[in-house]
């Protein structure tokens, strides 16, 4: 039997012994082949930026190892995994011991099928105890596993039987013939079958003919549950940022928590509102509710476009459509710009040089926090004769919010003395996270200075970008110029819309903005 399984678990960067490691959680199916539940590969560095650059190669090495281990998976067992797991069996036992063991009690036993009794009496040292009938089914080959599946109340798909070795197929075929109580056995000692337990067995067999030990069907249609598809759905989004991947996983967990882990065909639009109501009652924001619904719905979209392991379409119709979520969740509270007094007080503080430069760039150019925090000296260059910050992939890859954010921003005159004589590499040393962003640490660095001048929780580092937008608007310039400078237009890489306002015009506009808070320093 040939197996062909692909696993793409997400990875994280974790610190261990002063090094950053690429780490994945071993898929459940492959746990028997690993000593631990996680696999790690060292990037050889503690520097987050360098580690992120090396992560792709290390992740590829881990995936290659997973692929090699996956060749040891048994297609027959994997084809029955969902049923086995649902019935409480540990599939890993097959790979570690070569057996599958299940205890049956009471009415689930063969003894009950024969006698109609779920208990029996034990006498020991003069004491009598009534105990429930227990039988242990220990499957040691494929035919035994097929029998176990039938005892659990399921049929074995015919295509799985056909992949077995010939001797096992013959044994399974023999098991599909119902066992009979042979007349020769009855005639050996007729008296034992005319009263007591013997008579009860004969009566039960006559009224309830014994079932075959194995039941095989051409096509066993078992609808996939939501949880069955989660990992494949997330793997299809593996190119997304780690934050988005974790948010999708969280959304899937919440669908299961609030709506139930149902067969895909049983979900209805009403389940969307079950999710929204539950999150609303826990005071989640409207934006978060919409995101969770969107990411949770993504699994249904994936299911419509893909097949299960037996080649059947996972889901024919996407159930979560035309959903109205207005009124669910806490309404957003938008950030507001700092006042002029706030700006004066902010820059009047004794701020470290790095944070002062960051705040100065933001207030004089309108750059987003992460755009500024990731800036390099190599991306300070002349474009159309004007010295600019480049947020375009012309010198190196740039991480920006969207394509429209790719733009050139002229360096304002008031900023040049603060920038100094230039250098190499990044302007700032804020740690870069696994998604290639530096805004978290940059925000941590500047927020204490903002909080020292205002306690308004709607005034944050991002508010400074709002200040710049107001400055531009107050100059009375066109919306087109405003959008090109702030990154709300099609950007400087769209092409089919032309180049947009010239760099000279943008510089002229930016230099018209007065920044007395920068002059005071």
Q: Report the 3 state secondary structure along 313-346.
A: ECCCCCCCCCCCCCCCCECCCCCCCCCHHHHHHH
Task: Report the 10 Å Cβ neighbour count for 405.
Answer: 21
371 and 238 share one domain: no
150 and 213 share one domain: yes
State the sign of the Cα–Cα–Cα–Cα dihedral 151, 155, 159, 162. Answer: positive
Residue 153 lies in a domain: yes
358 and 487 share one domain: yes
397 and 510 share one domain: yes
Query: What is the pLDDT at residue 362?
Result: 94
Residue 405 lies in a domain: yes
199 and 238 share one domain: no
Environment class of 508 (CB within 10 Å of its CB; exposed 0-12, middle 13-18, buried 19+): middle
344 and 464 share one domain: yes
Ranges of H-type helices in 366-462: 369-373, 416-419, 439-451
End-of-domain residue from the set 195, 217, 239: 217
Distance CA 252, CA 31 (A): 23
Environment class of 432 (CB within 10 Å of its CB; exposed 0-12, middle 13-18, buried 19+): buried
Single pTM value for the model: 0.52
Task: Report the 10 Å Cβ neighbour count for 406.
Answer: 20
Residue 281 belongs to what H/E stretch?
helix 269-281
Residue 129 belongs to what H/E stretch?
strand 127-132
DSSP letter for 438, please.
-
Query: What is the pLDDT at residue 485?
Result: 85
Q: Determine contact, residues 217/156, Cβ cutoff 8 Å.
A: yes
Phi, psi of 419, rounded to the nearest 5 degrees = -65, -35
157-171, 190-204, 277-291: which has the minimum mean pLDDT? 190-204
Residue 240 lies in a domain: yes
pLDDT at 65 over 90: yes
60 and 115 share one domain: no
412 and 491 share one domain: yes
Distance CA 418, CA 216 (A): 79
Q: Using CA atoms in the order 371, 374, 376, 382, what is the torsion angle rounded to 10 degrees? A: -10
Which residues 6+ apart lie within 8 Å of 64 measured at CB? Answer: none
Helices 439-451, 353-365: axis angle to 10 degrees equals 90
Residue 282 lies in a domain: yes
Distance CA 270, CA 324 (A): 11
Residue 43 lies in a domain: yes
Find the radius of gyration of the CA atoms of the chain.
34
Query: What is the pLDDT at residue 489?
Result: 55
Model confidence over 42-59: pLDDT tens digits?
999 999 888 888 998 999
Residue 313 lies in a domain: no
204 and 232 share one domain: no
Query: What is the pLDDT at residue 11?
Result: 85
Beta bridge partner(s), residue 120: 131
Instruction: Name the band, by pLDDT with cuts 50, 70 and 90, for residue 151.
Output: confident
pLDDT at 260 over 50: yes
CATH of the domain at 239: 1.10.150
Q: Which residue has the higher pLDDT, 392 or 373?
A: 373
Instruction: Name the band, by pLDDT with cuts 50, 70 and 90, for residue 193.
Output: very low
Nearest to 112 by CA among 23, 209, 201: 201
Q: Long-range contacts of range 314-322, CB-CB < 8 Å, 24 or more positions apart?
A: 314/224, 314/229, 314/264, 315/224, 315/264, 315/265, 316/265, 319/267, 319/268, 319/269, 319/271, 320/267, 320/269, 320/271, 320/272, 320/293, 320/296, 321/269, 322/269
124-138, 164-178, 272-286, 395-409: which has the minimum mean pLDDT? 395-409
Quick one: average pLDDT of 162-189?
76
347 and 496 share one domain: yes
Instruction: Name the band, by pLDDT with cuts 50, 70 and 90, for residue 243.
Output: confident
End-of-domain residue from the set 304, 330, 358: 304
If one counts the domains in the chain, the total is 4
Residue 86 lies in a domain: no
Instruction: Name the band, by pLDDT with cuts 50, 70 and 90, for residue 356.
Output: very high
Q: Which domain holds residue 124?
A: 97-217
Nearest to 360 by CA among 411, 415, 412, 407: 415
Instruction: Name the band, by pLDDT with cuts 50, 70 and 90, for residue 127.
Output: confident
pLDDT at 32 over 80: yes
Instruction: Name the band, by pLDDT with cuts 50, 70 and 90, for residue 494.
Output: very low
Nearest to 149 by CA among 95, 81, 92: 81
Nearest to 310 by CA among 220, 214, 236: 220
Task: Report the 10 Å Cβ neighbour count for 368.
Answer: 21
CATH of the domain at 444: 1.10.443.10
349 and 379 share one domain: yes
Buried b (16+ CB within 10 A) or exposed e, 33-52: beeeeebbbebeeeebbebb
Distance CA 167, CA 176 (A): 15
End-of-domain residue from the set 304, 331, 350: 304
Q: Determine contact, residues 187/207, Cβ cutoff 8 Å.
A: no
State the sign of the Cα–Cα–Cα–Cα dihedral 254, 257, 260, 264. Answer: positive
383 and 507 share one domain: yes
Residue 327 lies in a domain: no
Q: Determine contact, residues 460/444, Cβ cutoff 8 Å.
A: no
**DSSP-derived pairing of the beta strands 216-217 and 156-157:** parallel
């Amino acid at each position: 039997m040939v197996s062909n399984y692909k696993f793409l678990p997400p990875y994280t960067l974790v610190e261990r012994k002063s090094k950053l490691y690429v780490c994945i959680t071993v898929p459940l199916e492959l746990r028997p082949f690993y000593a631990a539940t996680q696999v790690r590969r060292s990037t050889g560095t503690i520097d987050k930026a360098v580690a992120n650059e090396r992560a792709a190669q290390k992740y590829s090495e881990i995936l290659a190892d997973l692929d090699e281990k996956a060749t040891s998976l048994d297609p027959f067992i994997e084809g029955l995994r969902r049923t086995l797991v649902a019935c409480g069996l540990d599939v890993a036992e097959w790979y570690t011991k070569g057996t599958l063991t299940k205890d049956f009690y009471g009415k689930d036993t063969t003894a009950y099928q024969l006698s109609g009794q779920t208990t029996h009496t034990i006498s020991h040292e003069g004491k009598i105890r009534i105990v429930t009938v227990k039988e242990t089914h220990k499957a040691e080959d494929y035919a035994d596993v097929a029998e176990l599946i039938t005892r659990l109340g399921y049929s074995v798909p015919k295509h799985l039987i056909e992949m077995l070795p010939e001797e096992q197929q013959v044994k399974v075929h023999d098991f599909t013939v119902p066992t009979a109580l042979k007349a020769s056995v009855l005639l050996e000692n007729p008296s034992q079958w005319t009263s007591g337990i013997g008579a009860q067995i004969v009566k039960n067999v006559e009224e309830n003919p014994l079932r075959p030990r194995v039941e095989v069907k051409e096509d066993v249609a078992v609808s996939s549950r939501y949880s069955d598809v989660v990992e494949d759905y997330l793997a299809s989004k593996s190119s997304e940022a780690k934050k988005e991947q974790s948010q999708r996983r969280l959304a899937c967990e919440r669908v299961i928590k609030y709506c139930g882990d149902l067969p895909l065909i049983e979900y209805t639009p009403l389940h969307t509102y079950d999710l929204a109501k539950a999150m609303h009652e826990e005071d989640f924001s409207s934006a978060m509710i919409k995101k969770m619904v969107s990411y949770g719905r993504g699994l249904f979209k994936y299911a419509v476009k893909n097949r299960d392991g037996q080649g059947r379409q996972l889901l024919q119709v996407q159930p979560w459509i035309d959903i109205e979520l207005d009124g669910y969740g806490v309404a957003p509270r938008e950030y507001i710009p700092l006042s002029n007094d706030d700006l004066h007080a902010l820059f009047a503080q004794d701020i470290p040089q790095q944070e002062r430069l960051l705040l100065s760039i933001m207030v004089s150019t309108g750059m987003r926090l992460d755009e500024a925090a990731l800036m390099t000296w190599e991306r300070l260059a002349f474009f159309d004769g004007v010295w600019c910050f480049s947020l375009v992939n012309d010198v190196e890859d740039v991480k920006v919010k969207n394509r429209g954010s790719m733009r050139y921003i002229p360096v304002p005159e008031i900023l040049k003395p603060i920038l100094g004589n230039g250098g190499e590499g990044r302007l700032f040393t804020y740690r870069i996270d696994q998604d290639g962003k530096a805004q978290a640490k940059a925000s941590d660095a500047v927020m204490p200075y903002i909080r020292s001048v205002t306690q308004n929780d709607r005034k944050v580092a991002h508010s400074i970008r709002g200040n710049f937008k107001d400055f531009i608007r107050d100059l009375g310039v066109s919306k087109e110029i405003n959008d090109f400078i702030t990154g709300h237009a099609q950007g400087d890489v769209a092409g089919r819309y032309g180049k947009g306002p010239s760099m000279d015009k943008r510089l002229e506009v930016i230099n018209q903005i007065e920044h007395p808070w920068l002059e005071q320093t």
